[in-house]
């Protein structure tokens, strides 16, 4: 990475973070927010901090402060859906201890600050890793455009906020970066952390198997193929362990179905559009979710078919199919925000300044739209 591009990435990171905070504060000042007892706010920090304490951020903050409810009650609960790596790092960054924390007298504020630290450091690290991976294959221009697309992604509010997206993206990029350097065991470790950050980390397993098959033969292939299954085994062990604690081995999945309305069926994800009213965007279901799912599948198939880096395409396809298989397409627009080959492929298509201007404008505009709806409690995904 050249010093010039390093400086450009740092400047873009700071400017886009400042733009998000400014746009969020303006939205809270001039747009009407949904209010009610279930819509919580921070007690200090002002709009620039409160804007991040929305939706799932409350779960991550609560887990970081108090731990898992299922672990304390020994009963299935809603927080079983939230895997442990992100809230653990959030607690460490929050400075929470028995005497309080260094950021605020309110622990929810401390946890929010801690989550923002984790997410934004992970996002900055992801920018550098994405640049290096793309640069090695497609050159500096494509690499820089890929980073720009990441920073102005329509999913920007989730990549910057108290959500797992940016940390998960970091582990995934680190895994592929380590594979590039033939650091297989370290790549497996990064993949394990990805699986304990988001369940879609299991999508790395088929990509790792493909990489092993491409790189090795004989006994080495068989040994490394078994090791490539380790991230999936780690995820399964966590799910089973949590289930045994609450007296129901598959409680992770039953909680998803019973509490979060997910049925683990690709067919249900599509049939819901024939049974309920459909909006352009919103809670459930929406045309935007369906369009995003179809676009991601098409883009993943294109990458798998066209690129020499088949492992990237395989990851992209499985990272799209896993959330579709959850029985609902809710959240699909943001789920694509952590599928890094998409940024690289779109960057490759933007080979003319006018194309870049159009796509950057559309992406940034959608980012601001989604942000305004997010901070005013109107739309989660």
pLDDT in tens, 284-342: 678 888 899 999 999 999 999 988 889 999 999 999 999 888 777 888 888 999 999 99
Q: What pLDDT score does 279 carry?
A: 74
Mean pLDDT for 150-174 is: 96
Structural domains in the chain (count): 1
- Residue 380 included in any domain: no
Sign of CA dihedral 8, 11, 14, 17: negative
- Residue 111 included in any domain: yes
- Residue 3 included in any domain: no
- Residue 275 included in any domain: yes
Per-residue model confidence as pLDDT tens digits over 76-89 = 888 888 999 999 99
Complete DSSP assignment for 121-174: HHHHHHHHHHHHHHHHHH-HHHHHHHHHHHHT-TTHHHHHSSSSHHHHHHHHHH
CA angle 33, 38, 41 (to 5 degrees): 60
Confidence of residue 380 (pLDDT cuts 50, 70, 90): low
> How far is the C-alpha of 153 from the C-alpha of 169, rounded, in Å?
13
- Residue 9 included in any domain: no
- Residue 4 included in any domain: no
Confidence of residue 264 (pLDDT cuts 50, 70, 90): low
- Residue 249 included in any domain: yes
> Where in the sequence is the domain holding 128, given as residue range(s)?
16-375
- Residue 305 included in any domain: yes
Mean pLDDT for 358-366 is: 95
């Amino acid at each position: 990475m050249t010093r010039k591009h390093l400086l450009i990435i740092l400047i873009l990171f700071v400017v886009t973070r400042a733009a998000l905070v400014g746009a969020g504060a303006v939205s809270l000042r001039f747009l009407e927010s949904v209010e009610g007892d279930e819509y919580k706010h921070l007690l200090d920090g002002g709009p620039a901090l409160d804007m991040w304490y929305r939706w799932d951020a409350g779960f991550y903050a609560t887990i970081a402060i108090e731990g898992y409810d299922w672990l304390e009650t020994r009963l299935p609960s809603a927080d079983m859906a939230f895997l442990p790596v992100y809230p653990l790092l959030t607690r460490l960054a929050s400075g929470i201890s028995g005497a309080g924390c260094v950021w605020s007298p309110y622990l929810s504020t401390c946890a929010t600050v801690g989550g923002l630290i984790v997410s934004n450091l992970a996002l900055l690290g992801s920018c550098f890793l994405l640049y290096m991976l793309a640069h090695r294959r497609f050159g500096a221009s494509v690499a820089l455009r890929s980073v720009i697309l990441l920073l102005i992604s329509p999913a920007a509010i989730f990549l910057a906020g108290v959500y797992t997206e940016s940390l998960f993206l970091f582990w995934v990029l680190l895994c592929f970066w380590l594979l590039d350097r033939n650091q297989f065991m370290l790549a497996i470790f990064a993949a394990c952390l990805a699986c304990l950050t988001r369940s879609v980390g299991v999508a790395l397993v088929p990509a790792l198997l493909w990489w092993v098959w491409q790189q090795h033969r004989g006994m080495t292939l068989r040994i490394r193929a078994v090791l490539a299954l380790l991230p999936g085994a780690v995820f399964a062990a966590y799910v089973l362990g949590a289930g045994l604690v609450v007296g129901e081995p598959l409680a992770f999945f039953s909680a998803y179905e019973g509490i979060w309305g997910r049925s683990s069926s690709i067919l249900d994800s599509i049939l819901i559009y024939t049974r309920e009213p459909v909006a352009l965007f919103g809670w459930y279901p929406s045309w935007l979710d369906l369009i995003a799912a179809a676009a991601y599948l098409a883009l993943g198939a294109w990458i798998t078919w066209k690129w020499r880096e088949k492992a990237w395409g395989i990851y992209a396809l499985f990272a799209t199919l896993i959330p579709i298989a959850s029985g609902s397409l809710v959240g699909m627009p943001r789920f694509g925000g952590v599928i890094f080959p998409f940024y690289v492929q779109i960057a490759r298509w933007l080979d003319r300044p006018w194309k870049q201007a159009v796509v950057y404008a559309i992406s940034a505009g959608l980012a601001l739209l989604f942000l305004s709806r997010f901070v005013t409690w109107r739309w989660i995904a």
